Amino acid sequence: MRVPIPVCFRRRAVGGRRVLIAVAALLPALAVPLAAPAAPAAANGVVVGGAPTTTDSDPWVVALASKERFGSSRSGQFCGGVAVGPRTVVTAAHCFGQEALGTADWRKLPDLRVIVGRTDLSGTAGQEVPLSDVWVNPAFDAATNAGDVAVITLPQALPDGAVIPMAGPADTAPYTAGTQAQVYGWGDTTGQGTYPQGLRTATVDVLADSVCEKAYPGNADGTYLRASMVCAGVIGGGKDACQGDSGGPLVVGGRLIGLVSWGTGCAEAAFPGVYTRVSAVSELVAQHM
């Protein structure tokens, strides 16, 4: 089968630095960076700067996939997601945008699946579960990226029922600056279009809101808003989420505190990763479970 046209769904490649979502198809001829970051991010990550992990140890990490749209070499993976209930997966709203899916209606992609239990996307382990419903946060603001959350309902309970609890409104401690968090995904490991077959994780620090407010005061990439977002990265850069990690988990102490959402480039010292603040949306999510 012919590999589909690679889909780059960056929203605006401003100066070649804009990064928002997954680029998924990996045609060798087009494996060149579609918009190279100004400074190459450090190599080797999930995520950049990470290490391999598995869906056995972290079974609530799931992949969103469509082979028809994104190609079959990596099971069609294009975003991450997180199982928070036996039949509920949360992800980023922008994973369901027109630019990601090529349609505003996910039902028009009949082979859209949630893949669970598949560490290695080149294999067939685990299950490919169809979606029975999707709630995309109607308050998602594509200009700022606020409210970047969607809730997927599955037709049946996940095989092993492995779920992770969401941070609630009262969970403020895990958001304290300096807290170590893990980010997970099958996204770009270099910031230059290098997609791994295996699931990866990186340890990043929750950063003070002021760091991201300074980095992202409001431009074409988005605006950092402390009420609805979390800032995370490492001093000096080198560890970060990247394209293809969107919708995936940021975890502190066995609790989901963030969803990979956006940022400028990947792993650049001056531009931390920005995550959806789960404690701000967990009640909304619960209403759609």
Residues that bind ligand 4AZ (CB under 6 A): 19-22, 187, 240-246, 260, 262-263, 266, 273
Name which of 84 and 230 has its Cβ closer to ligand 4AZ.
230
Name which of 154 and 242 has its Cβ closer to ligand 4AZ.
242
Please report which helix (H) or strand (E) contains residue 91, including its range.
strand 88-91
Q: Which one of the listed residues 58, 66, 75, 94 is annotated catalytic?
A: 94
Name which of 48 and 158 has its Cβ closer to ligand 4AZ.
48
Q: Residue 52: CB partners within 8 Å, gap ≥ 6?
A: 198, 199, 200, 201
Q: Which one of the listed residues 73, 75, 228, 246 is annotated catalytic?
A: 246
Q: How many residues are there in the chain? A: 289
Q: How far is the CB of 183 from ligand 4AZ (least distance, A)?
A: 9
Name which of 193 and 244 has its Cβ closer to ligand 4AZ.
244
Task: List beta partners, residue 135.
Answer: 151
Establish whether 148 is a catalytic residue.
yes
Q: Cα dist. 47→133, 210, 222, 265 in Å?
A: 28, 23, 20, 12
Q: How far is the CB of 53 from ligand 4AZ (least distance, A)?
A: 18
Q: How far is the CB of 265 from ligand 4AZ (least distance, A)?
A: 6
**Position closest to ligand 4AZ via CB:** 263
Q: Is 214 left (phi over 0), alpha (psi -120 to 50) or beta?
A: alpha
Residue 88 in contact with residue 130, Cβ under 8 Å? no
Q: How far is the CB of 86 from ligand 4AZ (least distance, A)?
A: 26
Q: Tokens 């290098």 sit at which residue?
A: 194
Catalytic residues: 94, 148, 246
